[in-house]
Amino acid sequence: MGAGWTDDGRADAVLVLVTAFEPFGGLAANASWEAASRLPDAVPDGSGGQVHVSRARLPVSFARAGTRIVELMDDLRPDAVVCAGVARGRRTVTVERRAVNTMTGRIPDNDGFRPDGEPVLRGEADRLSATLPVDDLVGAVRAVGVSADPSEDAGLFVCNATYYRALAQAGVRAAEGGVRVPGVVFVHVPGEETLPPGRCARALRAVVEETARGLRAGASTGSGGASAVLARGGAAATRLRSLSRAEGRALRLGISGGVGAGKSTVAEVFRRRGAVVADADELSRRVVEPGAPGLAQVVRAFGGRVLRPDGTLDRGALARLVFSDPRARARLEGIVHPLVGRAARAELAGAPAGGMAVYDVPLLAETGMQGVFDAVLMVDAPLEARLDRLRARGVEPGDARRRIAAQAGTDRRRALASIWIDNAGTAEDLAAVTEDVIDRWLT
């Protein structure tokens, strides 16, 4: 089944698969299935049409649930998969950003199996990211009057294992080539004592309708419905906005993200692909080298305490000074940013028409530069991963947290992004999904 797109962008037989679970541990019902069973056979697609809904109940079994969801994805070839489960300890509907490759059961599943830290799939990525836009889905649930939040923790019981298998199968479909890759997301609903069945069903329907709207929007912009998300292992890229292209010059791209997120890896992929890349960090070092005008200005502003005995800038001392003092940071930025901007423009002017001119700039959101680019690629990563990367660079944990806190937050960055890259996997995953972004969306 799955979608067939006509020449004028209309969809026929667009399908969203919704899975939920059978009752667990002797209970009479499961809130996730009660909500799924109330869904209609078709939902609006946002353009006056409809998208078909297929519902399937999964066993509460580590072994059988994962096998069953893969069978359903292979048999039905859905355009998107919305998995639903119950998290009784939560007070809101939560949409999961990622699943981990671990099974742990505090109590046995319905087969009597209780794993303790075993992998869902041996030899696969530690975690996989949602391939549907989590923030949009959360917003859709809130819009119908039900409390909802994004979540970084799919738990370690059958829900997480099932979600991981679905994401892994989506990756298999992506690797096959020439097939429509399903978007996948997991939604946890509270127990019936917290969210009555009718409201729970309304929340799940909002998720399905937003998924359908995204499929239609992706088709109308040529991004191929669910392929508005590209996933490789633990990294996923989401196309949030359409991209503008001006003829007769290079495509202008801004790459940004919080410290430790992985933007330098993304920029290096672009460099290997022939893009002209200006690195703001490198340029910021160059404009304060001995003899450069920036160094003299910094010393006048902050004194000789920011110099090493050999007359070079002590960047660590300067960083400790400015990251704990917003006024000092603003003063430094007022010196360095104009110098770096001029140097970057000079470098990027050399990109040929039809090529790519890429500016790797950490403070894009903070400096309001987004308007000069045809597209902004924003790279994000879990906080602990960012702290680990900074620790590996010799940055003390306290300094690392101060640097992260001094930068723009996730919501502000996402509001500016054309493409959002979630870097929750390996450097190889991130490089691979960046290659896909270039091949499918930028060239």
Write the pLDDT tens digit of every residue in 164-217.
999 988 878 766 655 667 889 999 999 888 999 899 999 999 999 999 887 776
Q: Is 263 marked as binding a ligand?
A: yes
The CATH number, out of the four listed (3.30.1330.30, 1.10.3720.10, 3.40.190.80, 3.40.50.300), of the domain defined by the range 234-275+353-443? 3.40.50.300
Q: Is 261 annotated as ligand-binding?
A: yes
Q: What is the pLDDT of residue 53?
A: 93
Residue 418 CA, distance from chain mean position: 12
**For residue 226, what pLDDT is reported?**
41
Spell out the domain ranges in the chain.
4-225, 234-275+353-443, 280-350
224 annotated binding-site participant: no
Residue 264 annotated as part of some ligand binding site: yes
Query: Is the pLDDT reported for residue 2 higher than 60?
Result: no
Nearest to 238 by CA among 382, 441, 100, 95: 441
The sign of the dihedral angle between the CA atoms of 20, 22, 25, 31 is: positive
Closest CA to 126 of 137, 134, 117: 117
Q: What is the mean pLDDT of the chain?
A: 85
User: Quick one: pLDDT band at residue 6, thresholds 50, 70, 90?
Assistant: very low
Chain segment 283-318, per-residue pLDDT in tens:
988 999 998 889 999 999 888 888 988 989 988 888
pLDDT, average across residues 11-25: 83
How distant, in Å, are the alpha carbons of 111, 379, 404 from that of 410?
A: 41, 10, 11
CA distance 27 to 193: 13
State the pLDDT confidence band at 228, using cuts at 50, 70 and 90. low
Residue 330 marked as a ligand binder: no
pLDDT confidence bin for 27, thresholds 50/70/90: confident
Number of neighbours of residue 259 by Cβ within 10 angstroms: 18
46 against 149, higher pLDDT? 149
Q: Is 145 annotated as a binding residue?
A: no
Q: How confident is the model at residue 3 (pLDDT cuts 50, 70, 90)?
A: very low
What is the distance in angstroms between the CA of the first residue and the CA of the last residue of the chain?
30
Q: Checking DSSP bridges between strand 235-239 and strand 419-423, what pairing results, if any? A: antiparallel
pLDDT band, residue 442 (cuts 50/70/90): confident
Taking the C-alpha atoms of residue 250 and residue 418, their distance in angstroms, rounded to an integer, is 17
What does the pLDDT read at residue 224?
42
pLDDT mean over 83-102: 92
- Rounded-to-integer distance, Cα 3 and Cα 357, Å: 36
In this model, does residue 385 exceed pLDDT 80? yes
What superfamily would CATH give domain 4-225? Peptidase C15, pyroglutamyl peptidase I-like (3.40.630.20)
Highest-confidence segment of 94-103, 325-334, 368-377 = 94-103
